[in-house]
Structure 1
């Protein structure tokens, strides 16, 4: 497993879908994962240090884990199947280790709150074969078919090879910041 960090959030202009960009800690490869707006907001709020007087959903889960005597030690982004990414929460309590199946978007939001480490596989990082350019102040990801862009964005029903080809053609400069 390869340690990654949240590099940024972007917005796919063609689908208006948020994209979380995970970058390997010791390299330039990235893993873009299209996520929902609620999860993107949860990630963005934590990255911005925004706190609310009452716990939101992604704040509540770490409280429950701690209340039950556990610690979220790491999140594993394990695979993609039919354009759906899979993750596991690794929770320890004493000498016991539990893994819980979870969506990557929720897992990332929770990991940021608990300072848990994020990992993914070499295969997932290799499948994207794109490198991130320095961050820009662009507010969106423009994937509308303009020269240098990646086309129309990932579509439901894409097979794994189509998704890999889409990711290979993804221009990192098309990725901007997601603003909740």
Structure 2
């Protein structure tokens, strides 16, 4: 949750310190939290119905791709293979893709242009790790993450994205002249 109590997901790129933030709705945040924890709701949620519908029709989720960002809104495509082996691309919200990926285990990719525009160095947010540190236990990592969340200032991140958007808008205005 950011300082205004809006849910935010910090996505980290594998094997790097780079990532970016996506603000999501409260329903998606709750569904994502359940999916990540491996818990399920007592009755099927919309995501569960969608997953079961695709499976019952012989389909399979392949991947999601976050392909663009406009005015700090991210856009994605969800790729589903049907029973005949044809892959279809569906327009989707990244938050929905993240929930489905957490539930089904398919990969989520980010177009390089989106990553380049939106990426931040997460190590600057988390603080530098001490050199020579032994392997951490899960409990140590949990505590470290809790400390990171306490120190994390979402307003700094939001201002960063707003500055980037303003710079992009200025660059586009300059190109139009």
Structure 2 length normalisation: TM-score?
0.72
The CA distance in 2 between the partners of 1:142 and 1:55, in whole Å, is 35
Alignment match of 1:82 (pick from 51, 71, 84): 71
Alignment match of 2:145 (pick from 136, 149, 158): 136
Higher relative strand content = 1
Alignment match of 2:166 (pick from 162, 169, 176): 162
After superposition, the Cα gap between the structure-2 partners of 1:139 and 1:43, relative to the gap in structure 1 and judged at 3 Å, is: farther
5+ long unaligned stretches in structure 2: 127-143, 169-177
Q: Secondary structure at the match of 2:31?
A: helix
Alignment match of 2:53 (pick from 64, 69, 77): 64
- Name which of structure 1's ranges 96-105 and 117-126 shifts more when overlaid on structure 2: 117-126
Structure 1 length normalisation: TM-score?
0.71
RMSD, aligned CA: 2.6
What CA deviation, in whole Å up to 9, does each residue of 1:101-157 have, x standing for no partner?
01111111011111111000112222234222355203685335xxxx346687xxx
Alignment match of 1:36 (pick from 2, 20, 25): 25
CA contact (8 A) 1:17 1:34 kept: yes
The CA distance in 1 between the partners of 2:110 and 2:65, in whole Å, is 6
After superposition, the Cα gap between the structure-2 partners of 1:82 and 1:152, relative to the gap in structure 1 and judged at 3 Å, is: closer
CA contact (8 A) 1:35 1:105 kept: yes
Indicate the structure whose relative CO is greater, using CA pairs within 8 Å and at least 6 residues apart.
Answer: 1
The CA distance in 2 between the partners of 1:136 and 1:50, in whole Å, is 21
- The CA deviation at 1:160 is 6.3
